[in-house]
């Protein structure tokens, strides 16, 4: 299993958000790409990078404009987080609606 996974739920539609491109990046002076993925029919990206990641600051970047369209308020969502235990799994989901989003560290 990947060290980082995610899923996106469309709170307004009450269903998973399929087809959202997601980038995992690591901060190392500048942001460097680690992996890319796309949410499946269940809104999940189950394989996003390696099984372990070095301690450091990472971010997930969600291309929500492609999902919500050009009129969407959030064309992109970026969630920045810190990994302290390289062997730990980090699940970082998004609850998305037209004018709001929320996130948390899942399990």
Task: Give residue 88's pLDDT.
Answer: 85
Residue-number span of the structural domain to which 87 is assigned: 4-103
5-49, pLDDT tens digit by residue?
Answer: 999 999 999 999 999 999 999 999 999 999 999 999 999 999 998
For residue 87, is pLDDT > 90? no
d(CA 6, CA 12): 19
Q: Please provide the average confidence, as pLDDT, over all residues in the chain.
A: 95
Q: Give the pLDDT band of residue 53 (cuts 50, 70, 90).
A: very high
Least confident of 23-32, 35-44, 56-65, 79-88: 79-88
**1: which 2 tokens?**
């299993």
Give the total number of structural domains in the chain.
1
Looking at residue 86, its pLDDT comes to 75
pTM of the model: 0.94
CATH number (domain holding residue 47): 2.60.40.180
């Amino acid at each position: 299993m990947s060290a980082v996974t995610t899923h996106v739920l469309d709170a307004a539609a009450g269903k998973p958000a399929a087809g959202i491109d997601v980038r995992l990046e690591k901060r190392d002076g500048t942001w460097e790409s680690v992996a890319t993925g796309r949410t499946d029919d269940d809104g999940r990206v189950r394989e996003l990078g390696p099984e372990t990641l070095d301690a450091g600051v990472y971010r997930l970047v969600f291309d929500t404009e492609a999902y919500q369209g050009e009129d969407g308020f959030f064309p992109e969502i970026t969630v920045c987080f810190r990994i302290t235990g390289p062997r730990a799994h980090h699940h970082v989901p998004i609850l998305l609606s037209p004018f709001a989003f929320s996130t948390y560290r899942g399990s």
